[in-house]
A = this chain, B = another copy of it.
Amino acid sequence: MSQDKVYTAGMLVIGDEILSGRTHDKNIAQVASWLQVQGIRLTEVRVVADVQARIVEAVNALREQYDYLFTTGGIGPTHDDITVDAVAEALGREVVIHPEARKTLEAYYTGRGLELTEARLRMARAPEGAGLIPNRISGAPGIQVENIYLMAGVPHITAQMLDGLTGKLEGGAPLQSQTLGGWIPESEVSDILRACEKAHERCQIGSYPFFREGTVGANFVIRSTEKTALEACAADLTGQLEAEGYAVTPGGI
């Protein structure tokens, strides 16, 4: 782990169901939160349809630009599951049956009195030379090849794949955050926010307005990899907002 390098990740969400609005994506938020804890900054996400050429294009753009690439979706047994093929094409590798994945699936299905059919064996396909990411829930593993991590589309399966990867990726100092909130119209305090961010150069301030109970308010999220810088900025911002007569709630409202 390095304190100075900022480690970055791209993410590719694969699936017609997200682009049609039928399914609300839950993987972006969970991968994003998990990466924060690993000290890796999620920098860009793309969502593309189940079309191999589009997946290949996005995989190549993202894997080259960021330290890590996480994909979700398209690793199941059906005809619209083409993520493995697309990633293999992007990397110029063959698709093979991964021997360990085959064993895992065999054990999973025979343990349930079922056969490892040809369709199920599709879930053992991987780009040549890939490693596996364990899946305790449904048998079909995730895949790691070069800097790419192929995860499931079903959020709770991806959750436990991420769990198994915790602490195993090289990252930097994790980004920490501190939130302040109040019944404060952000347009009243935009000069304060701007000046405060400028004065605390190791910090970023995000302003997230809301409307509740007929009144406007906002939460201000300060982010930094340095705890002391974060605390100094939060104290400064709190003081300035209070000097303007606003009540400030630590932790946000």
- A interface residues (Cβ-Cβ under 8 A, vs B): 13, 15-26, 28-36, 41-50, 54, 76-80, 117, 119-120, 122-123, 137-138, 154, 175, 177, 186-188, 190-191, 193-194, 197, 204-211, 216, 221, 223
Residues of B within 8 A of A223 (CB): 16, 20
A15 to B208 Cα, complex, angstroms: 10
Decide if A207 touches B80 in the complex (CB within 8 Å): yes
Decide if A47 touches B44 in the complex (CB within 8 Å): yes
Main secondary structure on A side of the interface with B: mixed
Residues of B within 8 A of A28 (CB): 18, 21, 24-25, 47
A76 to B185 Cα, complex, angstroms: 11
A5 to B49 Cα, complex, angstroms: 19
Q: Beyond A47-B28, A206-B80, is A187–B123 a contact (Cβ under 8 Å)?
A: yes
Decide if A26 touches B24 in the complex (CB within 8 Å): yes
A221 to B25 Cα, complex, angstroms: 17
Residues of B within 8 A of A205 (CB): 79-80
A45 to B27 Cα, complex, angstroms: 14
Decide if B32 touches A20 in the complex (CB within 8 Å): yes
Decide if B19 touches A194 in the complex (CB within 8 Å): no
Q: Beyond A76-B186, A119-B188, A186-B78, is A42–B29 a contact (Cβ under 8 Å)?
A: no
Decide if B78 touches A193 in the complex (CB within 8 Å): yes
A143 to chain B, nearest CB (A): 17
